[in-house]
Structures are given as structure tokens and as C-alpha cells.
Amino acid sequence: MSFVMAMWRRWPLVGSLLDVRNNAAMKYQEWAKTYGEVYQVQLRNTNVVVVNSAAAAKALFQTNSHALSSRPVTYTFHKGAPSSASFTIGTSPYDESLKRKKKGAAIALNRPAIQSYVPYLDLETKSLIRDLLDIGKMGTVPIDPLPMIQRMSLSLVTTINWGVRVPSIESELFREIVTVEEELNRTLTATSRSLRQRRDKYMAKFDEDVARQVEEGLSNKPCVQASVIKYKEVELTSAKLRSISLSMTSGGFETVANSVHWTIGHLALHPELQDKAYEQIRQFSGPGLPDAAGDQKCAYILVLAKESLRYFTVIPLALPRVSIKDIYYEGALIPTGSTVYMNAWACNRDPGLWSEPAVFRPERWLEHPDATVFTFGLGYRMCSAHLLAARELYLTFMRLLSSFRFVACGKIRCDPREDIKNPKDLIMAAKPYKVMCIPRDEKGLAECLTVDE
Ligand code: HEM
């Protein structure tokens, strides 16, 4: 008991949740030098345990996976919001309903299911390359690639979830979904009722279309909603199906888009990394675009994607957990009902794990292939789609780096310690920048970009 008291006496008080979200992960990492790798802070009226080292994160989130399987029930998400925003998998507390939703999502996101999405990965990565070529006028006009990357990421979410494409950055659908999702992802406490109503509108249309197609026997394209409806072992209500749709969109769109956007900015500043990647891809795959079905076999691009996940850690504090059992760690008690944050940023940059953690160096993963990436979280509530996300990143980098040289235009500020667009956001985005996307082989590229729309 006295040890527990000692631990509880050590909290630094940091003010409101919104204040600390401002580069919080970096501040918390710094504080660990003074207060130890696990300590508590007060966020508004809640005491929160923050876990700041790789070893502690594994001991807590992996070894105590079940004890840390719930999420906090915040007012805005669960009590004050009657519409869809209450119910993503990522914000649901642990209960029977969550278990069913997670089972449904798992069926649609396991390895064989992901294999069936290869045609979508193929089409959307090709479309990204074509957009960069067209909008960048064959590498002659500087562009910010963000909207094109967002379209790819969004269209992957919508095709994988509902079988519906987002064909162009000019489309009404693209503008509407990007506006609404960006705003709703802004913080965990986003409350706008009208935004949620706008989201409900496009989600309802997609959900109803899939349900009708399944009922009429017309659904022949693989997609999450159709597989979950058809898989009778887990019968899900329409509310739970909607929850899966919401989870896929809020979980999958900005995370992948921002990871790619940060990385392209960084690569534009480091042509030597691009050249090495290009050389490795060419040794590995023949002329033309690398095969979409190739499953992460080019070792250098695989480690480049891992390093991108580590270095940018786009959700620096992962998503908060709540303990459903008492946990004892290093002689101290984390009582049932505690809120616990994994500082994924600090774990990914743990000097006990990595030398020069602040340097982007893909080779570190070749030297330590079994090291952990903390970016997707750990344990029962880790990212449901980490296999899919890793595959999306791999193919995107494979194809982008085999197609283009990215040349920085003007000053690109792309250091994740300093250059976050909105430091209070849940998902960390890079500041806008411009690059020239110069085709490495203009003629060859044009030939292999016959995209079936
Ligand atoms: C680079 C891409 C991605 C990153 C960095 C990422 C990161 C995360 C993190 C940190 C969590 C919380 C984990 C925890 O509490 O330990 C999470 C949860 C989740 N993610 Fe992802 N994610 C990515 C892509 C995706 C995609 C593509 C989807 C779906 C299409 C997705 C769906 C989900 C869902 C449903 C959850 C909630 C899991 C639960 O609460 O049980 N994520 N993700």
C-alpha cells in the first residue's frame, strides 16, 4: 500500500486533456527521465497512467492484455451523442457487444480476406501514380501529394468495406468524406452533431446498398460488410454493422494517408534513400510496376515501411485503455478502472531498444528483425487492421519509389518532432509541402498504367 501511495504522490499536474494533447507524447517521454518509465498524470478530473518504455509497454499491454481490454467511456462519445459517433470499435468499452463486433471485423481483416482485396490494392495504387503523373504534369509542376494520397487511402477503405470506389479528388464524395472525417478525427472529443449527421448520410447509403446486394444475391466483390453479413456464425445487428463501417473509416483513412504523406516528404529530403530503394526494387522485380500480389518480399521496402511506422508514429499516444482488473507492475498497483495510455512515440524511440532513435534508418530492422513496432498498439485492443495497413504501405512505397524520383520544391519541413500540422490532433499530420514527382521511366510507366475504372 505504501508503495502505491508513493507512486500516486508523484503525479505532475498538467492541466486539461486538450492542452496535453499538444505534443503530449514528446512531453511525456521527456518527463519519464524524471518520473520513471510509468507514472501518472491528471487530465481534467481523471488520473491517467502513462507508459513510456518498450519493456513496460510489453509487460503491461501484452502480458495483461485482458486486464487492459477496455476503453474509457467519455461523455461526448457515449452519453451525449445519440448518432453514429458513439459506436466505433476503437471507442467501445469491453463488453459482449464489442466482442461480437471485433469478431466480425477479424473475419474481414485476416490474411485470406486481405488476399482477396489485392485487386483493390492494385487499382488504387495505380490510380495514385496516375494522379501524380497527371496533376504533376509528368513531373514538371510542383504539387502537394496529400489529396492524391488521401484519395487512395479513402478509396481503399470504401472498396474494402463496401465495394464502392472514390474515383477522383474532384468528386463530391471525396470532398465530403475528407471534410467530415478530418474534422471528426480532430480530437477524441469532437462533438459536432451536424458533422455526424453528414457522416450518417453517406454511411447509411453505402450500408444499405451492400445489404440489398447481399439479399438479392448480387454481391460478388469481396468486401467487409458483405462477408460479415454472409458469415452467419456472428449475427450482427445493423447498428453493429454500422459500427464496423465507422471503425474502418475512422481507423483506416487518415492513418494510412498521413503515414504515406510524412514519408514522401522525408524521402524528398533524402534522395539517397530513394536511390537505394529503387536499386533494391529493381533487383527484386522486373520492368514495369511491381506486382500487387507480391506479399512484402522485397526486404528493403518492408523495412522502409516499418521505419516509417516507427519514425512517424502517427497516433503517438495510441488510443486510451481502461483496466478491468487490478494490475501489479514493479510492485505498484494500477487499480481496476484506471485509464492507461501507451506512449507509442516513446516506445518506438526507446533508447534501450534502438541506437540513434531520432534517425530515420530502415536498416535497423534488418539488424533486429524481431523488434516490435508499437505504432499499432499491443494486446487485445491493438489495431484490428495492422496486417492490412502494413500491406497497403508496402505496396504503395514499392510502386511509388519504382515510378518516381521525388524532388523537394522549396523548403520541406518534415521533422515529426517539430513540424506537426495541428499538434492537438489525435492523428498526427505533416505540414503541407511541395514536390516534383519525376517519372523514372515515362514511357514504361504510361504503358503499365492501363487502369480499369
Ligand atoms: C498506418 C495505419 C494505421 C495505424 C498507425 C493504426 C493505429 C491504430 C492504433 C494505435 C490503434 C489503437 C491500438 C491500441 O489501443 O492498442 C488502432 C485501433 C484500431 N484500428 Fe488502426 N491503424 C492503422 C490503420 C487502420 C486501418 C487501415 C483500419 C481499418 C481499415 C484500422 C482499424 C482499426 C480499428 C477497428 C481499431 C480499434 C481496435 C479496438 O479497439 O479493438 N486501422 N489503430
What is the chain's pLDDT, residue by residue, as a tens digit (453 residues)?
A: 334 434 444 444 444 444 444 578 999 999 899 989 999 888 777 889 999 999 999 999 999 999 999 999 864 444 444 444 456 888 889 999 899 888 888 888 999 999 999 999 999 999 999 999 999 999 999 999 999 999 999 999 999 998 889 999 999 999 999 999 888 877 555 567 788 889 889 988 888 888 888 777 776 778 888 877 776 666 677 787 888 888 888 889 999 999 999 999 999 999 999 999 999 999 888 788 999 988 788 999 999 999 999 999 999 999 999 999 999 998 889 999 999 999 999 999 999 999 999 999 999 999 999 999 999 999 999 999 999 999 999 999 999 999 999 999 999 999 999 999 988 888 999 999 999 999 999 988 988 887 444
Question: Ligand 1: which of 383, 387, 396 to mutate, most ligand atoms within 8 Å of CB?
Answer: 383
- Position 316: which residue type? P
Tell which atom from ligand 1 comes closest to the C-alpha of 318: 10
**Alpha-carbon span 336 to 334, nearest angstrom:** 7
Q: What is the DSSP letter of 217?
A: T
- Position 442: which residue type? E
Residues with CB under 6 A from ligand 1: 89-90, 102, 105, 157, 247-248, 251-252, 255-256, 259, 314-315, 318-319, 321, 375-378, 381-385, 388-389
Distance 155 CA to ligand 1 centre (A): 17
**Whether the Cβ atoms of residue 330 and residue 38 lie closer than 8 Å to each other:** yes
Q: Which residues of 314-347 are buried (b: 16+ CB within 10 A; e: fewer)?
A: bbbbbbbbbbbeebebeebbbeeebbbbbbbbbb
| Ligand 1 atom 16: residue of nearest CA | 377
| Ligand 1 atom 6: residue of nearest CA | 376
**Whether the Cβ atoms of residue 372 and residue 238 lie closer than 8 Å to each other:** no
